[in-house]
Amino acid sequence: MKYVSIESLPGSLLTLISLIFTKSPPQLLGGYGVWGITTFLIENLGLAFFNYFWLIPITWFYVFLIKQKSFLKKLYPSVFFFLTLLFLVFSKNLHPQYIFWFITFFPLLQFKSKAKKTYLIMYFLLLTMAYLNQNVYPLLYTGFIKNFYQQGQQVEIFYLQLLRNLSIVALLILSFKSTFIKKTIQ
């Protein structure tokens, strides 16, 4: 069973919790094609929890979508954009190329004229995520593993990764609000 990846949002949050409470990063585990971590929380919940937890928000979203009859009449790119973001936020493995999967939906979104500010914020978040994604991976990745997870140094690289992952959350919230509440993007 694959570990909770250091690149994922759950991995970043668990690493942050470890930094706050133990003043050091969690133990690094390599295997199954990922660099993962282990923490007290992972050991107690088990990896199976992280394998299936994403099903809860995805199921919630589909139930929500079924109740929104207007979104079932037409396939809106903004719904796919949101769904991909939702999966990325709750996935225990977030590889760098996954970032570009949902970015490809962005040019398909249709913004209403009153959504110029929303468009600019979303565009800025996407540029920030793409920039951080390409400058941490692969350029700084090997050093990041060695210096941060094994020696507890270069914590700023971790914070850049955390910023990238929290940008996904901010984009998810903005996407939900703009697609389902204000309906300024389709």
pLDDT tens-place string over residues 104-132: 889 989 999 888 999 999 999 999 998 98
Structure confidence at residue 72 (pLDDT)? 72
Quickly state the pLDDT bin for 138 (edges 50, 70, 90): low
Kindly report which listed range (43-47, 142-146, 160-164) carries the lowest average pLDDT score: 142-146
User: What share of the chain in percent tops pLDDT 90?
Assistant: 42
Paired tokens of 157: 């690289």
Alpha carbons 71 and 66: distance in angstroms, whole number:
8
For residues 154 and 59, which has the higher predicted lDDT (pLDDT)?
59
Cβ(109)–Cβ(82) under 8 Å? no
> What are the residue boundaries of the structural domains of the chain, listed by start?
54-181
Token pair 């250091």 is found at 6
Structure confidence at residue 128 (pLDDT)? 92
pTM of the predicted model over 0.95: no
pLDDT tens-place string over residues 11-57: 999 999 999 999 999 999 888 878 889 888 889 998 889 889 999 99
Cβ(54)–Cβ(46) under 8 Å? no
Mean pLDDT score across all residues of the chain: 88
Paired tokens of 89: 């936020």
In the chain, where do the E strands start and end? 4-5, 27-31, 34-38
- For the segment 77-100, the average pLDDT, to the nearest whole number, is 88
Quickly state the pLDDT bin for 90 (edges 50, 70, 90): very high
Paired tokens of 126: 């996407």
Alpha carbons 110 and 113: distance in angstroms, whole number:
10
Structure confidence at residue 25 (pLDDT)? 93
Cβ(8)–Cβ(92) under 8 Å? yes
